[in-house]
Amino acid sequence: MPKKPNDFDQLSLDDELNQDYEDPAEEKKTRRRRTKAALAEVQEKILDVEYSDVMRKSYIDYSMSVITARALPDVRDGLKPVQRRIIYDMNELGVTSDKPYRKVARIVGDTMGKYHPHGDSSIGDALIVMAQDWKKNAPLVDGHGNFGSIEGDEAAAQRYIECRLTPYSEQVMLSDIKENTVDFVPNYDEQEEEPAILPCKLPNLLINGSDGIAVGMATSIPTHNLGEVVDAAIFYLDNPWAQTEDLMAYLPGPDFPTGGIISNRSALREIYETGSGRIKVRGKVVAEQDKGGRERLVITEIPYTMIGDGIGKFLMSVADLVENKTLPDITDISNQSSKDGIRIVLELKKGADISNIENILYKKTKLEDTFGYNLLAISHGRPETMPLPNVFRDFVEFQFDIYQRKFYNLLKKAYRKKEIDEGLLLAIDVVDTIVEILRGSRTVRQAKECLMTGNTKDIRFRTKTAEKQAAGLHFTEVQADSILELRLARLVGLELESIQEDYNKLLKSISRYERLLGSRAEMKKEIKRELQVLRDKFARPRRTQIIDAGEIVIEEKPEEILPMVVLIDRFHYVRGVDPAVYEKNKEQLDAESRHVIPTFTDRRIIVFTDTGKAHTLKVRDIPYGRLKDKGTPIDNISGYDSKVENIVQILPLEPEKELIFVSTDGYVKRVSLGEFDVTRRTVDSTKLSEGARVLAILPYTGATLMLVSANRFGIRFQQAEIPQQGKTARGAIGLKLEEGDILEEASDSGLIRLSKRGGKGKKR
């Protein structure tokens, strides 16, 4: 029999569902009670929260995850998490500087599987950058194969290139990682452990710099000279009160791997004090002469910001300056850069003003650029924009921490070794007794107990003397284990001397460790000694020059004004020729051209279209070519769009003259050409009603104007009757059109009887 409904609280859900109720009413009642109970249980678990609060918290959690676990470096080792994991993984795989190279794909896959589950491209890109010596002052990875180039060439695929750690990574980042110097934390799936930080012995954040974009913030830290950074760190060790100015006596500014010049030295102090600012960087230019005595400018170093496709863009910028006559003294540009260094050669005309050319290059190209300095890093678990003294403060604190942990761990190992060595030395004196114990014991455990407690029960000795000596033994467990594992070969005389010698050295080491751990001053000396050793091994001369350059002044040479005949053919290709060439071939050129405009190189030409637009065209932008040159489409050098517009008139800009505008809806107006003497490339030339187009634009001569419609109504009146209006006006009625009629013709002469403007006209 099923239980009654009032026993519901004691029923499990499975039991209830499996019951076979004889009474349908009883079943219905029971199920209703069960539903109410389930709803009550659910309501107890519902949390009443504000939606905006949930979104805010989720966004903050996401932001902090990106900031601390992805995008920003830690001030202590100068690495982002992905970089730290790559280096640690390579060390765990044994891909060190003295071992063969391993495939990058192998490193990337292992790092992704164990520590960084964020996609192979992000890991591969980070690894490649750590191997590029034009981005890092001290590369962390030794690359073998195509790892890209300073000119922006991409690295080969991960399966084709190989790598291993550099000595810098091993000795600066990893040398003490086995000495319990840093904390280890579970990886993302808690199957492995990874270091929370690497025990870095140098201020790598400054030496190699960093860049990254987080949520709502970004970091941009330039590279610095290793020797100068270490000297500043040593000074800070001795002078923890040091300010920015004091540190800059040792660390004057960034040192980029590309060399170049920092041109605003006076601004660096404020930048280092605030942790942000703008550093002006420029390339290095030297003058040379070829065998023929012709001069050339050679760019031997580029600004750090030009790395990558910036070199190609710079070459294009110089070519544009040559083409638009800003740098007419440059006759040729060639990029002769190679693996040996940057070499961009600019061939010059004889007698060129080298100083002015340099100034133009700095002013009008990226040969001088701005590096946005923003020293944002993770300090004590949170992002912080750090002044220079704060960077060294955190570094020094970190050094004392890892050295303290290192020597404490070494001291523990030394005490354990001391205990073992003392046991071995004692065992040597009673070696015969120990042999008796081993031979007379039935188990290792029995022998070990005898060595530790002197318990000789059930052990057979050959002599009473040996048994008596055995009863007096009291080795520790560690000593007993080492005695039991002792090889007989170690009982040779030389081995015994070696044990005694090691023991004496061990006592000295213990004394040293205790002295270092007991005195901050002694520990400071040890840190300084290690800094000096690493500086001597890895330092190199400064590459970037630091100066205070004055404001760049460009000598604006007056533009040479030359006569030119502008030719525009029926396909709207435009070109310029010398007037002498035109006169010599006048008949041919007139036949080929729809517009022939004699002008000068400092003038402008206005292109009027049927959509009511006026496009300004600078004569100097028109290609100046040979007789057989085709020219260039007007579209390419003006705002004219041949797909939606038709050219109505092309005229030189002569502000003193007037034009008559005629639109297809019968309106006319007079406009001064001076209205189009504006800086904008394209402006409206007239206002048009819906569906209307500009029919004609005629020079104002003071004669008559004849208009004829599609329905053959015509009118002729004096041009003086046309009102003078601005370029945005619609105009006045010239011919009053019937519904559906439009203007088709406009000319300054005709046979129609003269009448007044605005009439209906005569049927022709």
Q: Which residues pair with 297 in a beta bridge?
A: 287, 346
Are 598 and 565 in contact by the 8 Å Cβ rule? The answer is yes
Residues 425 and 472 in one domain: yes
Domain span including residue 664: 563-763
For 8, other C-beta atoms within 10 Å of its C-beta total 15
- Residue 138, in any domain of the structure: yes
Are 744 and 708 in contact by the 8 Å Cβ rule? The answer is yes
Per-residue burial over 400-416, b if 16 or more Cβ lie within 10 Å, else e, is: eebbebbbebbbeebee
**Cα separation, 192 vs 85, whole angstroms:** 12
Q: Answer yes or no: is pLDDT of 188 > 50.
A: yes
Residues 415 and 512 in one domain: yes
Three-class SS state of 497: helix
Are 709 and 677 in contact by the 8 Å Cβ rule? The answer is no
Residues 568 and 518 in one domain: no
Banded pLDDT at 129 (limits 50, 70, 90): very high
Q: Answer yes or no: is pLDDT of 1 > 60.
A: no
Residues 484 and 618 in one domain: no
Q: Per mean pLDDT, which range of 45-54, 260-269, 523-532, 593-602 is the poorest?
A: 45-54
Q: Answer yes or no: is pLDDT of 59 > 70.
A: no
Residues 104 and 31 in one domain: no
Q: Which residues pair with 278 in a beta bridge?
A: 372
**Where among 199, 231, 265 does a domain terminate?**
199
Are 158 and 104 in contact by the 8 Å Cβ rule? The answer is yes
Q: Pairing relation of β-strands 218-221 and 573-577?
A: unpaired
Are 225 and 155 in contact by the 8 Å Cβ rule? The answer is no
Per-residue model confidence (pLDDT) at position 401: 96
Instruction: Give the total number of structural domains in the chain.
Output: 5
Q: Helix (H) and strand (E) counts for the chain?
A: 23, 33
CA distances from 695 to 517, 646, 762 (A): 96, 10, 20
Residues 341 and 424 in one domain: no
Three-class SS state of 540: coil
Banded pLDDT at 307 (limits 50, 70, 90): very high
Q: Answer yes or no: is pLDDT of 557 > 70.
A: no
Sign of CA dihedral 435, 437, 440, 446: negative
- Rounded mean pLDDT of 497-509? 88
Q: What CATH number should be reported for the domain holding residue 88?
A: 3.90.199.10
Per-residue model confidence (pLDDT) at position 322: 87
- Residue 465, in any domain of the structure: yes
Residues 710 and 575 in one domain: yes
Per-residue model confidence (pLDDT) at position 2: 43
Q: Answer yes or no: is pLDDT of 35 > 90.
A: no
Q: Please work out, in degrees rounded to the nearest 5, the angle formed at the alpha carbon of residue 31 by the alpha carbons of 26 and 37.
A: 130
Residues 622 and 671 in one domain: yes
Segment 216-243, tens digit of pLDDT = 678 999 999 999 999 999 999 999 999 9
Residues 314 and 407 in one domain: no
Closest to 564 measured CA to CA, from 587, 580, 548: 580
Please enumerate in sequence order all residues whose Cβ is within 8 A of that of 508, keeping only pairs 6 or more positions apart, or say none. Answer: none
Q: What CATH number should be reported for the domain holding residue 748?
A: 2.120.10.90
Residues 526 and 596 in one domain: no
**Cα separation, 407 vs 179, whole angstroms:** 8
Residue at 147: amino acid letter: F
Q: What CATH number should be reported for the domain holding residue 470?
A: 1.10.268.10
Sign of CA dihedral 434, 440, 445, 449: negative
- Residue 413, in any domain of the structure: yes
Tokens of 565: 């005949």
Q: Answer yes or no: is pLDDT of 76 > 80.
A: yes
Point out the catalytic residue in the list 59, 62, 160, 188: 160
- Rounded mean pLDDT of 580-609? 90
- Per DSSP, which regions of 239-396 are E strands? 261-262, 276-282, 284-289, 295-301, 330-335, 344-348, 368-374, 376-379, 382-385
Q: Answer yes or no: is pLDDT of 23 > 80.
A: no
Whether the full predicted model's pTM is greater than 0.75, yes or no, is no
Segment 442-458, tens digit of pLDDT = 889 988 888 898 888 88
Residue keyed to tokens 């946005």: 372
Q: With both helix axes pointing from N to C terminus, report the angle between 477-484 and 444-453 in degrees, rounded to the nearest 10.
A: 130
- Residue 155, in any domain of the structure: yes
Q: Answer yes or no: is pLDDT of 7 > 60.
A: no
Residues 677 and 591 in one domain: yes
**HSE on the CB side for 613, CA within 13 Å?**
17
Q: Tell me what the pLDDT averaged over the chain comes to.
A: 87
Three-class SS state of 66: helix
Helices (H), 430-519: 431-440, 444-453, 464-471, 477-484, 493-518
Q: Catalytic site residue 160?
A: yes
Are 650 and 704 in contact by the 8 Å Cβ rule? The answer is no
Segment 452-485, tens digit of pLDDT = 988 888 888 888 888 888 888 888 889 888 888 8
For residues 213 and 394, which has the higher predicted lDDT (pLDDT)? 394
**Where among 177, 199, 221 does a domain terminate?**
199
What DSSP line would sit under 700-730, residue for residue?
Answer: --SSEEEEEETT-EEEEEEGGGSPB--TT--
Q: What CATH number should be reported for the domain holding residue 297?
A: 3.30.1360.40
- Residue 558, in any domain of the structure: no
Q: Answer yes or no: is pLDDT of 8 > 50.
A: no
- Residue 274, in any domain of the structure: no
Segment 233-288, tens digit of pLDDT = 999 999 999 999 999 999 999 999 999 999 999 999 999 999 999 999 999 999 98
DSSP-derived secondary structure letter, 548: B
Are 163 and 127 in contact by the 8 Å Cβ rule? The answer is yes
For residues 101 and 502, which has the higher predicted lDDT (pLDDT)? 101
Segment 561-585, tens digit of pLDDT = 889 999 998 888 899 888 998 999 9
- Residue 256, in any domain of the structure: no
Closest to 475 measured CA to CA, from 414, 415, 432, 434: 434
- Residue 242, in any domain of the structure: no
Residues 531 and 578 in one domain: no
Q: Pairing relation of β-strands 344-348 and 376-379?
A: unpaired
**Where among 174, 199, 224 does a domain terminate?**
199
* Percent share of the chain, pLDDT over 70: 90
Banded pLDDT at 693 (limits 50, 70, 90): very high
Q: Give the H or E element holding residue 142.
A: strand 141-144
